[in-house]
Structure 1
Amino acid sequence: MAVAAMLSPEGNLQAYRDLLQYLGQRMGRPVELVQRRTYLEVNKLVTDGRVDLAFVCTGAYCQAAGEHRMELLVVPQVGSKVTYRALIIVPAASGAKAFRDLEGRVFAFTDPLSNTGYRYPRRVLAEMGRRPGPFFGRTLFTYSHDRSIRAVAEGLADGAAVDEIVFERLAKAEPALAERVRVILRSEEFGIPPVVVPASLPDVEKSRLRRLLLALQDDPEGRKALKALGVDRFVEVDPALYRVPCQEPREERCER
Protein backbone atom coordinates (compact mmCIF):
# COMPACT_ATOMS: atom_id res chain seq x y z
CA MET A 1 0.00 0.00 0.00
CA ALA A 2 1.44 3.35 -1.03
CA VAL A 3 0.73 6.68 0.61
CA ALA A 4 1.58 10.00 -1.02
CA ALA A 5 3.66 12.39 1.04
CA MET A 6 0.84 14.71 2.06
CA LEU A 7 2.32 14.15 5.52
CA SER A 8 5.99 13.61 6.27
CA PRO A 9 7.10 9.94 6.31
CA GLU A 10 6.96 9.91 10.12
CA GLY A 11 3.44 11.35 10.08
CA ASN A 12 2.26 8.80 7.52
CA LEU A 13 3.67 5.88 9.49
CA GLN A 14 1.86 6.98 12.63
CA ALA A 15 -1.43 7.68 10.85
CA TYR A 16 -1.59 4.50 8.75
CA ARG A 17 -0.14 1.91 11.15
CA ASP A 18 -3.54 0.70 12.41
CA LEU A 19 -4.98 0.48 8.90
CA LEU A 20 -2.03 -1.60 7.71
CA GLN A 21 -2.53 -4.01 10.59
CA TYR A 22 -6.29 -4.20 9.99
CA LEU A 23 -5.96 -4.91 6.27
CA GLY A 24 -3.23 -7.47 6.88
CA GLN A 25 -5.37 -9.37 9.39
CA ARG A 26 -8.43 -9.37 7.15
CA MET A 27 -6.51 -10.35 4.01
CA GLY A 28 -4.38 -12.98 5.73
CA ARG A 29 -1.07 -11.54 4.60
CA PRO A 30 1.25 -8.69 5.65
CA VAL A 31 0.52 -5.28 4.14
CA GLU A 32 3.59 -3.12 3.61
CA LEU A 33 3.58 0.68 3.65
CA VAL A 34 5.46 2.11 0.66
CA GLN A 35 6.43 5.78 0.65
CA ARG A 36 8.20 7.98 -1.86
CA ARG A 37 9.38 11.58 -1.74
CA THR A 38 7.18 12.91 -4.55
CA TYR A 39 3.59 12.42 -5.68
CA LEU A 40 4.83 11.50 -9.16
CA GLU A 41 6.86 8.61 -7.77
CA VAL A 42 3.81 7.27 -5.92
CA ASN A 43 1.72 7.63 -9.08
CA LYS A 44 4.27 5.54 -10.95
CA LEU A 45 4.07 2.79 -8.32
CA VAL A 46 0.32 2.63 -8.95
CA THR A 47 0.30 2.90 -12.73
CA ASP A 48 3.10 0.31 -13.02
CA GLY A 49 1.10 -2.07 -10.81
CA ARG A 50 3.82 -2.25 -8.15
CA VAL A 51 1.33 -1.57 -5.33
CA ASP A 52 -2.26 -2.78 -4.99
CA LEU A 53 -3.70 0.24 -3.18
CA ALA A 54 -2.71 3.88 -2.73
CA PHE A 55 -3.78 7.04 -0.96
CA VAL A 56 -2.97 9.87 -3.37
CA CYS A 57 -3.39 13.61 -3.68
CA THR A 58 -6.27 15.03 -5.72
CA GLY A 59 -3.91 16.65 -8.22
CA ALA A 60 -1.90 13.45 -8.57
CA TYR A 61 -5.10 11.47 -9.21
CA CYS A 62 -6.06 13.95 -11.93
CA GLN A 63 -2.68 13.52 -13.58
CA ALA A 64 -2.91 9.72 -13.75
CA ALA A 65 -6.65 9.20 -14.21
CA GLY A 66 -6.47 10.77 -17.64
CA GLU A 67 -4.06 8.02 -18.69
CA HIS A 68 -6.61 5.32 -17.66
CA ARG A 69 -4.00 3.44 -15.62
CA MET A 70 -5.37 4.38 -12.19
CA GLU A 71 -8.92 3.89 -10.91
CA LEU A 72 -10.86 5.56 -8.12
CA LEU A 73 -11.80 3.00 -5.44
CA VAL A 74 -13.27 4.93 -2.48
CA VAL A 75 -12.79 8.28 -0.78
CA PRO A 76 -12.53 9.29 2.87
CA GLN A 77 -15.44 11.12 4.43
CA VAL A 78 -14.50 13.66 7.09
CA GLY A 79 -17.52 14.80 9.05
CA SER A 80 -20.24 14.89 6.42
CA LYS A 81 -17.88 16.02 3.66
CA VAL A 82 -16.02 14.36 0.81
CA THR A 83 -14.45 17.68 -0.16
CA TYR A 84 -11.68 19.87 1.22
CA ARG A 85 -10.06 23.23 0.58
CA ALA A 86 -6.66 24.80 0.07
CA LEU A 87 -5.47 27.28 2.67
CA ILE A 88 -2.96 30.07 2.15
CA ILE A 89 -1.15 30.60 5.44
CA VAL A 90 1.35 33.17 6.74
CA PRO A 91 3.17 33.62 10.07
CA ALA A 92 0.82 34.87 12.78
CA ALA A 93 2.87 38.06 13.15
CA SER A 94 2.96 38.75 9.40
CA GLY A 95 1.46 41.94 8.08
CA ALA A 96 0.09 40.08 5.04
CA LYS A 97 -3.69 40.23 4.84
CA ALA A 98 -4.24 39.08 1.24
CA PHE A 99 -2.43 36.92 -1.31
CA ARG A 100 -1.12 39.99 -3.16
CA ASP A 101 0.76 40.98 0.01
CA LEU A 102 3.09 38.00 -0.54
CA GLU A 103 4.72 39.60 -3.58
CA GLY A 104 8.49 39.47 -3.28
CA ARG A 105 8.32 37.04 -0.34
CA VAL A 106 9.45 33.42 0.16
CA PHE A 107 6.62 30.98 -0.62
CA ALA A 108 6.45 27.23 0.09
CA PHE A 109 4.76 24.88 -2.36
CA THR A 110 4.13 21.25 -1.42
CA ASP A 111 4.67 19.16 -4.57
CA PRO A 112 4.43 19.89 -8.33
CA LEU A 113 1.38 17.57 -8.56
CA SER A 114 -0.36 18.90 -5.44
CA ASN A 115 -3.81 20.37 -5.97
CA THR A 116 -3.94 22.48 -2.81
CA GLY A 117 -0.20 22.92 -2.39
CA TYR A 118 0.71 23.95 -5.94
CA ARG A 119 -2.08 24.16 -8.52
CA TYR A 120 -4.38 26.34 -6.42
CA PRO A 121 -1.87 29.13 -5.64
CA ARG A 122 -0.77 29.10 -9.29
CA ARG A 123 -4.39 29.55 -10.32
CA VAL A 124 -4.78 32.49 -7.92
CA LEU A 125 -1.71 34.07 -9.49
CA ALA A 126 -3.02 33.40 -13.01
CA GLU A 127 -6.25 35.21 -12.12
CA MET A 128 -4.05 38.14 -11.07
CA GLY A 129 -2.20 37.93 -14.39
CA ARG A 130 0.99 36.88 -12.63
CA ARG A 131 3.35 33.88 -12.54
CA PRO A 132 5.21 32.41 -9.51
CA GLY A 133 8.74 33.26 -10.66
CA PRO A 134 8.30 37.00 -11.15
CA PHE A 135 5.78 37.36 -8.28
CA PHE A 136 7.54 35.65 -5.38
CA GLY A 137 11.01 36.54 -4.21
CA ARG A 138 11.81 32.83 -3.90
CA THR A 139 9.88 29.56 -3.90
CA LEU A 140 10.62 26.12 -2.49
CA PHE A 141 9.05 22.67 -2.39
CA THR A 142 8.66 20.99 1.01
CA TYR A 143 7.12 17.71 -0.26
CA SER A 144 4.56 17.46 2.54
CA HIS A 145 1.86 19.73 3.93
CA ASP A 146 2.99 19.42 7.54
CA ARG A 147 6.49 20.52 6.52
CA SER A 148 5.00 23.55 4.74
CA ILE A 149 3.07 24.49 7.88
CA ARG A 150 6.22 24.16 9.99
CA ALA A 151 8.24 26.18 7.46
CA VAL A 152 5.82 29.09 7.89
CA ALA A 153 5.58 28.71 11.67
CA GLU A 154 9.37 28.69 11.99
CA GLY A 155 9.88 31.68 9.70
CA LEU A 156 11.53 29.72 6.89
CA ALA A 157 8.78 30.82 4.50
CA ASP A 158 6.57 33.90 4.42
CA GLY A 159 3.62 31.95 3.10
CA ALA A 160 2.47 28.52 1.97
CA ALA A 161 -0.44 26.72 0.36
CA VAL A 162 -1.60 23.71 2.37
CA ASP A 163 -4.30 21.06 2.66
CA GLU A 164 -7.13 22.12 5.00
CA ILE A 165 -7.52 18.60 6.44
CA VAL A 166 -3.82 18.29 7.28
CA PHE A 167 -3.83 21.78 8.79
CA GLU A 168 -6.83 21.08 11.03
CA ARG A 169 -5.42 17.75 12.14
CA LEU A 170 -2.05 19.29 12.99
CA ALA A 171 -3.79 22.14 14.82
CA LYS A 172 -5.51 19.61 17.10
CA ALA A 173 -2.31 17.66 17.72
CA GLU A 174 -0.06 20.71 18.14
CA PRO A 175 -2.17 23.77 18.98
CA ALA A 176 0.90 25.83 19.88
CA LEU A 177 2.22 25.31 16.35
CA ALA A 178 -1.08 26.31 14.76
CA GLU A 179 -1.13 29.52 16.80
CA ARG A 180 2.08 30.57 15.04
CA VAL A 181 0.39 30.73 11.63
CA ARG A 182 -2.66 32.52 10.24
CA VAL A 183 -4.98 31.73 7.31
CA ILE A 184 -5.43 34.59 4.84
CA LEU A 185 -7.25 32.78 2.02
CA ARG A 186 -9.44 29.70 1.59
CA SER A 187 -10.24 28.08 -1.74
CA GLU A 188 -13.51 26.68 -2.99
CA GLU A 189 -14.28 23.02 -2.21
CA PHE A 190 -12.41 20.31 -4.15
CA GLY A 191 -12.86 16.53 -4.27
CA ILE A 192 -10.98 15.05 -1.32
CA PRO A 193 -7.72 13.10 -1.90
CA PRO A 194 -8.92 9.63 -2.99
CA VAL A 195 -7.98 6.00 -2.51
CA VAL A 196 -7.01 4.41 -5.82
CA VAL A 197 -5.92 1.12 -7.36
CA PRO A 198 -4.02 0.21 -10.52
CA ALA A 199 -6.36 -0.23 -13.47
CA SER A 200 -4.58 -3.55 -14.09
CA LEU A 201 -5.52 -4.98 -10.67
CA PRO A 202 -7.92 -7.95 -11.07
CA ASP A 203 -11.56 -7.00 -10.50
CA VAL A 204 -11.90 -9.53 -7.68
CA GLU A 205 -9.09 -7.79 -5.77
CA LYS A 206 -10.59 -4.35 -6.40
CA SER A 207 -13.91 -5.55 -5.01
CA ARG A 208 -12.28 -7.13 -1.97
CA LEU A 209 -10.34 -3.98 -1.09
CA ARG A 210 -13.42 -1.82 -1.62
CA ARG A 211 -15.53 -4.00 0.69
CA LEU A 212 -12.88 -3.94 3.42
CA LEU A 213 -12.55 -0.16 3.36
CA LEU A 214 -16.31 0.47 3.20
CA ALA A 215 -16.84 -1.80 6.23
CA LEU A 216 -14.21 -0.24 8.51
CA GLN A 217 -16.75 1.73 10.56
CA ASP A 218 -18.64 -1.49 11.39
CA ASP A 219 -15.70 -3.06 13.24
CA PRO A 220 -14.02 -1.88 16.50
CA GLU A 221 -10.53 -2.35 15.05
CA GLY A 222 -11.65 -0.66 11.86
CA ARG A 223 -12.96 2.33 13.80
CA LYS A 224 -9.60 2.55 15.57
CA ALA A 225 -7.87 2.73 12.18
CA LEU A 226 -10.30 5.40 10.98
CA LYS A 227 -9.69 7.49 14.10
CA ALA A 228 -5.93 7.36 13.55
CA LEU A 229 -6.50 8.64 10.01
CA GLY A 230 -8.86 11.39 11.15
CA VAL A 231 -11.57 9.93 8.91
CA ASP A 232 -15.19 9.02 9.73
CA ARG A 233 -15.63 6.40 7.03
CA PHE A 234 -14.84 5.54 3.43
CA VAL A 235 -17.55 5.95 0.80
CA GLU A 236 -18.03 5.52 -2.93
CA VAL A 237 -18.44 8.65 -5.07
CA ASP A 238 -18.96 9.58 -8.69
CA PRO A 239 -15.62 10.43 -10.37
CA ALA A 240 -17.34 13.64 -11.51
CA LEU A 241 -16.49 14.96 -8.03
CA TYR A 242 -13.02 15.61 -9.47
CA ARG A 243 -14.17 17.45 -12.59
CA VAL A 244 -13.14 20.90 -11.32
CA PRO A 245 -9.64 20.07 -10.04
CA CYS A 246 -9.00 17.86 -13.08
CA GLN A 247 -10.14 20.31 -15.73
CA GLU A 248 -6.76 21.92 -16.38
CA PRO A 249 -4.38 20.46 -18.99
CA ARG A 250 -1.85 18.01 -17.59
CA GLU A 251 1.05 20.19 -18.78
CA GLU A 252 -0.15 23.01 -16.53
CA ARG A 253 -0.42 20.71 -13.53
CA CYS A 254 3.13 19.46 -13.92
CA GLU A 255 4.76 22.74 -14.90
CA ARG A 256 7.23 24.11 -12.42
Structure 2
Amino acid sequence: MPTLVDVKKDGNTGYRSIVVTRCDSGIKSLDDAKGKVHAFADPDSTSGFAVPYFNMKEKLGIDPASYFAAIPFGGSHEADVQGVVNGTFDTASTYQDNDVNGVYQRMERKGMIEPGVICKIWESPEITSGPWTFRNDLPAEMIEDVTAAIEQFPAADPEGYKLYSSFDPADENPEVGFIRVDHDRYQWIVDMRAWIKEQRRGG
Protein backbone atom coordinates (compact mmCIF):
# COMPACT_ATOMS: atom_id res chain seq x y z
CA MET A 1 0.00 0.00 0.00
CA PRO A 2 1.29 3.51 -0.83
CA THR A 3 1.73 5.95 2.06
CA LEU A 4 4.02 8.85 1.17
CA VAL A 5 5.34 10.64 -1.89
CA ASP A 6 8.02 13.32 -2.28
CA VAL A 7 6.71 16.86 -2.63
CA LYS A 8 8.50 19.76 -4.32
CA LYS A 9 8.71 23.34 -3.08
CA ASP A 10 5.90 24.37 -5.45
CA GLY A 11 3.64 21.58 -4.17
CA ASN A 12 4.08 19.26 -7.14
CA THR A 13 4.20 15.53 -6.44
CA GLY A 14 4.73 14.38 -10.01
CA TYR A 15 4.56 15.60 -13.58
CA ARG A 16 2.03 15.91 -16.40
CA SER A 17 1.76 14.93 -20.02
CA ILE A 18 0.98 17.93 -22.19
CA VAL A 19 0.09 18.63 -25.81
CA VAL A 20 1.83 21.55 -27.46
CA THR A 21 1.47 23.49 -30.69
CA ARG A 22 2.97 26.60 -32.26
CA CYS A 23 1.49 29.63 -30.55
CA ASP A 24 0.73 31.10 -33.98
CA SER A 25 -0.98 27.95 -35.31
CA GLY A 26 -4.49 29.04 -34.40
CA ILE A 27 -4.89 25.77 -32.48
CA LYS A 28 -6.09 26.59 -28.98
CA SER A 29 -7.41 23.19 -27.86
CA LEU A 30 -7.67 19.55 -28.92
CA ASP A 31 -10.96 20.47 -30.62
CA ASP A 32 -9.00 22.71 -32.99
CA ALA A 33 -6.47 19.92 -33.62
CA LYS A 34 -8.97 17.62 -35.35
CA GLY A 35 -7.71 16.62 -38.79
CA LYS A 36 -4.20 17.83 -38.01
CA VAL A 37 -0.94 15.87 -37.64
CA HIS A 38 -0.28 14.91 -34.02
CA ALA A 39 3.04 13.39 -32.96
CA PHE A 40 3.51 11.06 -30.01
CA ALA A 41 7.04 10.76 -28.63
CA ASP A 42 7.72 7.02 -28.44
CA PRO A 43 5.49 3.95 -28.01
CA ASP A 44 7.25 3.12 -24.72
CA SER A 45 6.93 6.65 -23.30
CA THR A 46 4.49 7.15 -20.44
CA SER A 47 3.96 10.89 -20.85
CA GLY A 48 4.73 11.01 -24.57
CA PHE A 49 2.31 8.26 -25.57
CA ALA A 50 0.50 6.14 -22.96
CA VAL A 51 -0.97 8.97 -20.88
CA PRO A 52 -2.16 11.22 -23.72
CA TYR A 53 -3.42 8.30 -25.82
CA PHE A 54 -5.35 6.79 -22.89
CA ASN A 55 -6.84 10.12 -21.84
CA MET A 56 -7.83 11.04 -25.38
CA LYS A 57 -9.50 7.72 -26.08
CA GLU A 58 -10.98 6.79 -22.70
CA LYS A 59 -11.65 10.18 -21.08
CA LEU A 60 -12.16 12.63 -23.97
CA GLY A 61 -13.85 10.40 -26.55
CA ILE A 62 -11.12 11.03 -29.11
CA ASP A 63 -9.77 8.10 -31.15
CA PRO A 64 -6.37 9.46 -32.22
CA ALA A 65 -6.17 7.10 -35.21
CA SER A 66 -9.23 8.64 -36.84
CA TYR A 67 -9.36 12.06 -35.14
CA PHE A 68 -5.98 13.23 -36.44
CA ALA A 69 -4.79 13.22 -40.05
CA ALA A 70 -1.75 11.21 -38.92
CA ILE A 71 -0.17 10.15 -35.62
CA PRO A 72 3.55 9.60 -36.22
CA PHE A 73 6.12 8.97 -33.51
CA GLY A 74 8.67 11.76 -33.29
CA GLY A 75 11.20 9.48 -31.61
CA SER A 76 11.79 11.62 -28.52
CA HIS A 77 10.22 14.48 -26.59
CA GLU A 78 12.72 16.97 -28.00
CA ALA A 79 12.06 15.75 -31.54
CA ASP A 80 8.32 16.16 -30.97
CA VAL A 81 8.76 19.78 -29.89
CA GLN A 82 11.26 20.54 -32.65
CA GLY A 83 8.88 19.01 -35.19
CA VAL A 84 6.13 21.38 -34.06
CA VAL A 85 8.49 24.35 -34.26
CA ASN A 86 9.50 23.32 -37.79
CA GLY A 87 5.91 22.71 -38.90
CA THR A 88 6.39 18.97 -39.44
CA PHE A 89 3.74 18.31 -36.78
CA ASP A 90 0.77 20.51 -35.89
CA THR A 91 0.64 19.25 -32.30
CA ALA A 92 2.73 16.89 -30.20
CA SER A 93 2.78 15.11 -26.84
CA THR A 94 5.51 15.81 -24.32
CA TYR A 95 5.68 16.55 -20.58
CA GLN A 96 6.33 19.19 -17.95
CA ASP A 97 6.78 19.32 -14.18
CA ASN A 98 5.12 22.75 -14.05
CA ASP A 99 4.59 25.74 -16.32
CA VAL A 100 8.21 26.86 -16.06
CA ASN A 101 9.97 23.50 -16.10
CA GLY A 102 9.40 20.97 -18.84
CA VAL A 103 10.78 19.75 -22.15
CA TYR A 104 10.01 22.79 -24.28
CA GLN A 105 10.94 25.21 -21.48
CA ARG A 106 14.36 23.56 -21.12
CA MET A 107 14.81 23.69 -24.89
CA GLU A 108 14.13 27.43 -24.74
CA ARG A 109 16.68 27.94 -21.96
CA LYS A 110 19.30 25.97 -23.91
CA GLY A 111 18.71 28.05 -27.04
CA MET A 112 17.42 25.06 -29.00
CA ILE A 113 14.16 26.86 -29.81
CA GLU A 114 13.04 30.47 -29.63
CA PRO A 115 11.05 31.47 -26.53
CA GLY A 116 7.37 32.10 -27.11
CA VAL A 117 7.01 29.82 -30.15
CA ILE A 118 5.52 26.82 -28.31
CA CYS A 119 2.24 26.92 -26.37
CA LYS A 120 0.47 24.25 -24.28
CA ILE A 121 -3.12 23.38 -25.25
CA TRP A 122 -3.84 20.38 -22.99
CA GLU A 123 -2.46 18.74 -19.87
CA SER A 124 -3.17 15.41 -18.22
CA PRO A 125 -4.03 14.68 -14.61
CA GLU A 126 -0.89 14.48 -12.48
CA ILE A 127 1.30 11.44 -13.02
CA THR A 128 2.21 11.09 -9.35
CA SER A 129 5.75 10.01 -8.54
CA GLY A 130 6.44 6.57 -7.13
CA PRO A 131 5.45 6.34 -3.46
CA TRP A 132 6.83 4.77 -0.32
CA THR A 133 4.91 1.52 -0.05
CA PHE A 134 4.28 -1.17 2.56
CA ARG A 135 3.03 -4.73 2.31
CA ASN A 136 -0.67 -4.95 3.17
CA ASP A 137 -0.09 -7.79 5.63
CA LEU A 138 2.09 -5.69 7.94
CA PRO A 139 0.57 -4.42 11.23
CA ALA A 140 -1.25 -1.11 10.72
CA GLU A 141 0.42 0.37 13.80
CA MET A 142 3.88 -0.41 12.46
CA ILE A 143 3.04 1.11 9.07
CA GLU A 144 1.84 4.29 10.80
CA ASP A 145 4.93 4.50 13.03
CA VAL A 146 7.35 4.14 10.13
CA THR A 147 5.34 6.51 7.93
CA ALA A 148 5.35 9.16 10.67
CA ALA A 149 9.10 8.74 11.16
CA ILE A 150 9.73 9.26 7.44
CA GLU A 151 7.46 12.33 7.45
CA GLN A 152 9.57 13.86 10.21
CA PHE A 153 12.88 13.12 8.45
CA PRO A 154 13.32 16.56 6.72
CA ALA A 155 12.85 18.48 9.99
CA ALA A 156 14.59 15.96 12.23
CA ASP A 157 17.72 15.64 10.07
CA PRO A 158 17.96 18.46 7.50
CA GLU A 159 21.47 17.51 6.35
CA GLY A 160 20.53 13.86 6.00
CA TYR A 161 17.44 14.83 4.03
CA LYS A 162 19.58 16.91 1.66
CA LEU A 163 21.62 13.80 0.93
CA TYR A 164 18.48 11.68 0.48
CA SER A 165 16.90 14.19 -1.90
CA SER A 166 20.14 14.95 -3.82
CA PHE A 167 19.72 18.60 -2.90
CA ASP A 168 21.15 21.06 -5.43
CA PRO A 169 21.47 24.70 -4.25
CA ALA A 170 20.87 25.82 -7.84
CA ASP A 171 17.54 23.99 -8.04
CA GLU A 172 14.74 26.54 -7.71
CA ASN A 173 12.16 23.83 -7.00
CA PRO A 174 13.79 21.24 -4.71
CA GLU A 175 12.09 18.44 -2.83
CA VAL A 176 11.05 19.71 0.59
CA GLY A 177 9.39 16.73 2.25
CA PHE A 178 6.58 14.23 1.92
CA ILE A 179 2.79 14.16 1.72
CA ARG A 180 0.48 11.24 2.34
CA VAL A 181 -1.10 9.39 -0.55
CA ASP A 182 -3.34 6.36 -0.88
CA HIS A 183 -4.16 3.80 -3.57
CA ASP A 184 -6.87 6.03 -5.06
CA ARG A 185 -4.22 8.56 -6.06
CA TYR A 186 -2.70 5.99 -8.41
CA GLN A 187 -5.83 4.19 -9.60
CA TRP A 188 -6.10 5.94 -12.96
CA ILE A 189 -2.46 5.09 -13.70
CA VAL A 190 -3.11 1.44 -12.79
CA ASP A 191 -6.17 1.47 -15.06
CA MET A 192 -4.19 3.07 -17.86
CA ARG A 193 -1.41 0.48 -17.72
CA ALA A 194 -3.94 -2.36 -17.77
CA TRP A 195 -5.73 -0.70 -20.70
CA ILE A 196 -2.53 -0.18 -22.69
CA LYS A 197 -1.51 -3.78 -22.07
CA GLU A 198 -4.90 -4.98 -23.31
CA GLN A 199 -4.69 -2.77 -26.40
CA ARG A 200 -1.30 -4.22 -27.27
CA ARG A 201 -2.53 -7.76 -26.70
CA GLY A 202 -5.53 -7.09 -28.92
CA GLY A 203 -3.44 -5.35 -31.55
Aligned partners of 1:109 and 1:139 also within 8 Å? yes
Q: Given the alignment, which residue of 124, 136, 159 partners 1:187?
A: 124
Match of 1:203 in 2: none
Q: Given the alignment, which residue of 104, 119, 123 partners 2:50?
A: 119
Counterpart check, 1:142 vs 2:78: no
Which whole-Å CA distance do the structure 2 matches of 1:178 and 1:168 have between them? 9
Q: Given the alignment, which residue of 73, 77, 85 partners 1:153?
A: 85
* 1:205-244 map, 5 Å: 218=162, 222-224=166-168, 227=171, 232-233=174-175, 238=181, 240=183, 241-244=185-188
Higher relative contact order (CA 8 A, sep 6+): 2
Aligned partners of 1:91 and 1:180 also within 8 Å? yes
Moved over 6 A (4+): 71-74
Structure 2 gaps, min length 5:
133-149
Letter in 2 for 1:180: V
Residue 112 of structure 1 and its aligned partner are, at CA, apart by 2.7
Which whole-Å CA distance do the structure 2 matches of 1:223 and 1:157 have between them? 37
Residue 125 of structure 1 and its aligned partner are, at CA, apart by 3.9
Where 1:244 maps in the other structure, the secondary structure is helix
Match of 1:105 in 2: 36
Aligned partners of 1:76 and 1:194 also within 8 Å? no
Aligned partners of 1:226 and 1:232 also within 8 Å? no
Residue 142 of structure 1 and its aligned partner are, at CA, apart by 2.9
Identity level (%): 19
Where 1:182 maps in the other structure, the secondary structure is strand
Aligned partners of 2:4 and 2:181 also within 8 Å? no
Which whole-Å CA distance do the structure 1 matches of 2:12 and 2:20 have between them? 22
Match of 1:167 in 2: 103
Moved more, 230-239 or 150-159: 230-239
Q: TM-score, length-normalised on structure 2?
A: 0.62
Structure 1 gaps, min length 5:
1-70, 197-209
Quick check: which one's helix share is greater?
1
Structure with the greater alpha carbon radius of gyration: 2
Which whole-Å CA distance do the structure 2 matches of 1:144 and 1:234 have between them? 30
Aligned partners of 1:112 and 1:254 also within 8 Å? no
Aligned partners of 1:217 and 1:226 also within 8 Å? no
Letter in 2 for 1:233: E
CA RMSD of aligned residues (A): 4.0
Letter in 1 for 2:30: F
Which whole-Å CA distance do the structure 2 matches of 1:243 and 1:215 have between them? 34
Which whole-Å CA distance do the structure 1 matches of 2:170 and 2:3 have between them? 19
Which whole-Å CA distance do the structure 1 matches of 2:42 and 2:182 have between them? 23
Change (3 A) 1:224 1:249: closer
Aligned partners of 1:216 and 1:226 also within 8 Å? no
Deviations 1:23-43 (A, max 9, x none): xxxxxxxxxxxxxxxxxxxxx
Residue 115 of structure 1 and its aligned partner are, at CA, apart by 3.7
Counterpart check, 1:247 vs 2:169: no
Residue 157 of structure 1 and its aligned partner are, at CA, apart by 0.9
Where 1:124 maps in the other structure, the secondary structure is helix
Match of 1:49 in 2: none
Change (3 A) 1:78 1:111: farther
Number of positions where the alignment pairs a residue of Structure 1 with one of Structure 2: 170
